[in-house]
């Protein structure tokens, strides 16, 4: 029976560990941060993610999931190790591989002289070639097993989304397993025997490239939607209907086609930059991905422009900003579009009052001067306009009268096209959204 250790207890490590424990495997989560280990041991989610607390408590009570700071013992007591450490971005957009290289070395060191089979699996997102040229030699050299007699190496990317991470880990669309040694693939496959998702078996670099290409495609699809939506709005056409019609073409599909203030989060911006950087390094500059990044950078400003078209000059105006996380159902503010929107509003002289159901503290760390209030009432009170940046249910379920009673001027810019436009219009609210060419108040 395989026993699994997981290095790194962030989103990917924690959700992978839970999914494997749910599938009956014994899992040890390893982290250098004692607080994260304490969180897991006490069954408390270290960050906001729907279902995480319950899933943690359940798996703790089965005895199959545990956590430690002791890397060496964890590795020695297990048969498989997943590397789930962060691969942040360095100044020029490349992936910083320092942490993952160290983790690979730590795994090798723990296995030095141990003549038992062990499979080391990269799950972190790493540039193509990293498992083969960096992780494999780092681990095998440290283990004194240069030929890989005992230490087998694979790459198994993760596609889970924040906000639905547990469900995505339980029900992936696909399982990608890459190894340069075909005999290693079944050693990883055994961990997924309770899943019925299709398995793509390939080499390590291709598995790494699949993850980047997957994210780059989705980021490009969203950016295409944004570009078309901006144009639709200008010519008096409506992106919702256009997206629906295009999505009916089975070659395209309607998912991830929502126009808005652009993509944020811990993956899309970082991964597109990393792959664009990799392309430049290989003298194969990706004009497409460079353009995606440029367009995504400009997109949040469109929401501020729409607002100012309705409010007039923003200087001195009171503006509410609802939704500070990069998307609803998470407290993650990494690359959130709320930051450029907040900056643009303040730069144009608006007095901004912000709100978020979960991410207030994290956003306050990003923008210490921001005025963030505890309730939506307070955020809207006396406002001359509001921008909804993340479509939390707390905002989408608001009655139209809530806006009219609290706001000085009922002007709503829906950055995610998530509110009930017709109902708002009926209540006499000025409603604008990216890609909405038909003026509802006309
Ligand atoms: C993403 C990938 O979806 C996931 O497969 C990968 O493993 C990690 O990165 P995540 O960043 O958690 O997941 O969230 P996702 O739901 O993909 O949204 C990313 C950004 O795109 C958000 O800012 C979201 O608001 C935006 N988005 C998404 C759109 O603007 N339009 C859409 O249609 C979908």
Which of helix, strand or coil describes residue 65? strand
Tell me the Ramachandran region of residue 116: left when phi exceeds 0, alpha when psi lies from -120 to 50, beta otherwise. Answer: beta
The residues lining ligand 1, judged by C-beta closer than 6 Å to any ligand atom, are 158-162, 215, 218, 222, 256-258, 260, 263-265, 267-268, 326-327
Separation CA 274–CA 212 (nearest Å): 9
Separation CA 413–CA 387 (nearest Å): 5
For residue 66, what is the enclosing H or E element?
strand 65-68
Contact of 320 with 355, CB cutoff 8 Å: yes
Q: Which of 403, 407, 406, 408 is nearest to 426 (CA)?
A: 403
Separation CA 405–CA 410 (nearest Å): 9
Separation CA 302–CA 292 (nearest Å): 16
Q: Which two tokens stand for residue 92?
A: 């020029």
Out of 267, 410, 424, 429, pick the active-site residue.
267
Instruction: Write phi, then psi, for 280 (nearest 5 degrees).
Output: -60, -40
DSSP class of residue 157 equals -
List the pLDDT tens digit at each of the 442 positions of the chain: 899 999 999 999 999 999 999 999 999 999 999 999 999 999 999 888 999 999 999 999 999 999 999 999 999 999 999 999 999 888 888 889 999 999 999 999 999 989 899 999 999 999 999 999 999 999 999 999 999 999 999 999 999 999 999 999 999 999 999 999 999 999 999 999 989 999 999 999 999 999 999 999 999 999 999 999 999 999 999 999 999 999 999 999 999 999 999 999 999 999 999 999 999 999 999 999 999 999 999 999 999 999 999 999 999 999 999 999 999 999 999 999 999 999 999 999 999 999 999 999 999 999 999 999 999 999 999 999 999 999 999 999 999 999 999 999 999 999 999 999 999 999 999 999 999 987 655 5
Residue 333 CA to ligand 1 centre (angstroms) = 13
Residue 8 CA to ligand 1 centre (angstroms) = 22
Q: Which of 436, 372, 378, 383 is nearest to 411 (CA)?
A: 383
Task: Mark whether 267 is an active-site residue.
Answer: yes
Q: Give DSSP secondary structure letters for 69-100.
A: S-HHHHHHT-SEEEE-----B-TTS-B--HHH
Q: Which of 178, 111, 121 is nearest to 145 (CA)?
A: 111
Q: Across the chain, which distance is largest between two alpha carbons, in Å? A: 77
Q: Residue written as tokens 């944020």?
A: 264
Contact of 158 with 123, CB cutoff 8 Å: yes
Separation CA 82–CA 135 (nearest Å): 12
- Within 8 A by CB and 6+ apart from 411, the residues are 307, 310, 311, 384, 385, 386, 429, 430, 432
Q: Residue written as tokens 């089965």?
A: 62
Contact of 71 with 110, CB cutoff 8 Å: yes
The residue whose CB lies within 8 Å of the most ligand 1 atoms, and thus the one to mutate among 48, 158, 222, 297, is 222
């Amino acid at each position: 029976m395989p026993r699994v250790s997981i290095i790194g207890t962030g989103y990917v490590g924690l959700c992978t560990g839970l999914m494997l424990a749910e599938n009956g495997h014994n899992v040890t989560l390893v982290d250098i941060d004692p607080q994260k280990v304490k969180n897991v041991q006490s069954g408390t989610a270290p960050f906001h993610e729907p279902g995480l607390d319950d899933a943690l408590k359940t798996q703790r009570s089965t005895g199959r999931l545990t956590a430690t700071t002791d890397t060496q013992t964890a590795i020695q007591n297990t048969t498989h190790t997943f590397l789930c450490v962060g691969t942040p971005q360095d100044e020029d957009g490349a992936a910083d591989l320092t942490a993952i290289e160290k983790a690979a070395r730590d795994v090798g060191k723990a296995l030095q002289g141990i003549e038992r089979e062990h499979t080391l699996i990269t799950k972190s997102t790493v540039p193509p070639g990293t498992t083969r040229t960096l992780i494999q030699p780092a681990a095998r050299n440290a283990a004194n097993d240069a030929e890989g007699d005992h230490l087998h190496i694979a790459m198994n990317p993760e596609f889970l989304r924040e906000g639905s991470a547990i469900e995505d880990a339980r029900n992936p669309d696909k399982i990608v397993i890459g190894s340069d040694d075909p005999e290693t693939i079944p050693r990883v496959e055994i961990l997924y025997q309770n899943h019925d998702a299709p398995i793509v078996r390939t080499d390590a670099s291709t598995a790494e490239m699949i993850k980047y290409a997957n994210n780059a495609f989705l980021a490009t699809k969203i950016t295409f939607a944004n570009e078309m939506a901006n144009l639709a709005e200008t010519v008096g056409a409506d992106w919702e209907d256009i997206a629906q019609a295009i999505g009916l073409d089975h070659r395209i599909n309607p998912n991830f086609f929502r126009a808005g203030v652009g993509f944020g989060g811990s993956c899309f911006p970082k991964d597109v930059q990393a792959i664009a950087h990799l392309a430049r390094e290989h003298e194969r500059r990706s004009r497409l991905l460079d353009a995606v990044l440029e367009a995504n950078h400009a997109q949040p400003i469109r929401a501020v422009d729409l607002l100012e078209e309705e409010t007039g000059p923003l200087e001195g105006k009171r503006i509410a900003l609802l939704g500070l996380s990069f998307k609803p159902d998470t407290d993650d503010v990494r690359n959130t579009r709320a930051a450029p929107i907040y900056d643009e509003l303040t730069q144009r002289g608006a007095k901004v009052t912000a709100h978020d159901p979960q991410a207030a503290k994290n956003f306050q760390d990003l923008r210490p001067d921001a005025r963030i209030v505890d309730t939506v009432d307070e955020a809207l009170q006396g406002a001359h306009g509001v921008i909804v940046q993340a479509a939390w249910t707390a905002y989408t379920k608001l009655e139209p009268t809530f806006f009219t009673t609290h706001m000085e001027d009922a002007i709503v810019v829906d950055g995610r096209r998530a509110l009930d436009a017709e109902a708002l219009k009926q209540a006499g609210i000025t409603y604008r959204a990216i890609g909405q060419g038909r003026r509802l108040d006309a």
